[in-house]
Structure 1
Amino acid sequence: MAKISLTDNQYNALVKEYFAKRGQRQLLNKDESIDIAQRLNETVSLPFLNEQKEHAVLLKIVLKVDHYLYENLPNEIYELIHNMDEGFDDSEAAQLAARLSKLAQNDISLPFLTAHVEYYSITFILTLLINAMREGSDIEHAIKVTKHPRMMGDDFPFPDLL
């Protein structure tokens, strides 16, 4: 077993990242967040809001899930969304999706949505981000190809890596 070895600078950077201020606890950039919100908007509608406000709310849901993953996964794992060379195999991704989905459903509250739409929204965003963590995938690929899970289904459809 290899010995854990960090320079003072590496350790300080790790601690700084781990204890980042609340407003800095996100990994997705603006374009990625908007693209995911756009994909969510394909099936989620908030008829009580105009289109502009609906888009803002969907983007905030994406940001909430992004923050949740930043809080609950080590960054070395969450950063796999930007790395095609490393990542989970299909079995590992499915296990992580099932476990994280269950935890997130309990921890993330979107009281302005029906329970059905809340479940669907969280599940879709998690599925997309975990798809991006698969070896051979990244966030751009996952945004394009992740399928919407069946409403209230427990399966997590991971498309083939092409």
Structure 2
Amino acid sequence: MIAVREGDITTFAVDAIVNAANSSLLGGGGVDGAIHRAAGPGLLAECRTLGGCPTGEARLSGAYDLPARHVIHTVGPVWQGGTRGEPALLAACYRNAFRLAYEAGDRSIAFPAISTGVYRYPAPEAAAIAVATLREALKGCPDMEVTLAAFDASQAALLRAVLGS
């Protein structure tokens, strides 16, 4: 099941939230900064031990002061016109984050719109990749609940249109 929910992902009571991180995993702007601020200093301390994360991969950490059990950090691609492997890398972010959560025993996960902020991935294309990748992942894990977190009404409408709901 994939649902769309408008709001602040740091307040979602799910097993895992996904952080659209930078490769250092040490915090940044956008959703990354919001997650680090809401989780408290324990998250940064743990992230310092993870050794960073390459684009398309994912890393698992505790959630500290967040209502989730885990934060799954993934590094999306910087948009460079779509001809440098960006679609495959973005799909890998969703697939790897989903897999890590499932393997950790999580059965509910919330994803932000990965790479659509400062990394400039076009939102419609990113939404289509997210939905297609997560639908495929759910085929092997039908007991997983996926939430696509929308930061505003226009993003929620885009996600709902892509979902066909």
Q: Which structure has the larger Rg over C-alpha atoms?
A: 1
Q: Same fold judged by TM-score > 0.5?
A: no
TM-score for the superposition, normalised by structure 1: 0.30
More helix as a share of residues: 1
Structure with bigger RCO (C-alpha 8 Å, 6+ apart): 2
TM-score for the superposition, normalised by structure 2: 0.30
More strand as a share of residues: 2
